[in-house]
Amino acid sequence: MQATLKAPRKTKLDPVPIFVGGEWLNADGTSTLPVHNPSTGDVIAETPMCGASEVDAAVQAAAAAFPLGGKLRLTERARVMFRFKMLLEDNFEDIVRSNTREHGKTLVESRGDVRRGIEMIEFACGIPSLLMGESIENIARGIDCDTIRQPLGVCVGITPFNFPAMVPLWMYPVALVCGKHLRPQAQ
């Protein structure tokens, strides 16, 4: 018996929305590309090819939210990551299956990808003790050295496709926990 390959199904799907400023938005007028399940060839989504205006909107929204993150104490931001970790754990197998469907990884590879990402979130939960800074007295005659670690501001991570959970989770949990430290202004 000879196996026959079936042609991938072609389905027109609505484009995946983009998340900007706490809202899901359609990138109207933006061209899309199909996302294929690498195992079956089926089109499983349409992804917008965002341009400068969409990227600028995302950066502007992040810049506007930056001071708001500073209103949370460092330990409160770490608690948000603890909750995020629990959500990932609670939905682990669903995330793994999605990862496999979208990227063609085996389930074992997907589990490793997602698990390593969760380990980075655990690291981010410990950031408060890593941000304590340092103080060295008398580093030179009559000179003390105090080190204070502060965030840079809005940043972006451009990540490869091959580790879709792990690589982004190397970046943004740490950045979010570090946040912006607002100091009370002298009156």
Mean pLDDT over 155-180 rounds to 85
pLDDT above 80 for 153: no
- Whole-number pLDDT of residue 71: 78
Phi, psi of 47 (to 5 degrees): -110, 135
Q: Are the C-beta atoms of residues 134 and 147 closer than 8 Å to each other?
A: yes
**What are the structural domain ranges in the chain?**
1-69, 73-182
Mean pLDDT of 111-133: 92
- Residue 67's Cβ-count burial label (10 Å; 0-12, 13-18, 19+) is exposed
Q: What percent of the chain has pLDDT over 70?
A: 86
The pLDDT tens digits of the residues spanning 29-40 come to 789 999 899 888
Is pLDDT at 182 greater than 70 in this prediction? Answer: no
78-101 confidence digits (pLDDT tens): 999 999 999 999 999 999 999 999
> Does position 1 have pLDDT exceeding 60, yes or no?
no
User: According to the model, what pLDDT value does residue 97 have?
Assistant: 95
Separation of alpha carbons 158 and 161, rounded Å = 10
Separation of alpha carbons 119 and 123, rounded Å: 6
What's the CA angle centered on 174, arms 64 and 76, to 5 degrees? 70
Closest CA to 146 of 132, 159, 133: 133
Q: CB-side exposure of 114: number of CA atoms within 13 Å? A: 25
pLDDT, average across residues 133-144? 90
CATH architecture of 73-182: 3-Layer(aba) Sandwich (3.40)
Q: Which of these ranges, 68-72, 77-81, 108-112, has the smallest mean pLDDT?
A: 68-72
CA 164 to chain centre: 10
Give the residue with greater pLDDT, 156 vs 48: 48
| For range 125-145, the mean pLDDT | 89
Residue 28 has pLDDT above 80, yes or no: no
Query: In the predicted model, what is the mean pLDDT of the chain?
Result: 85
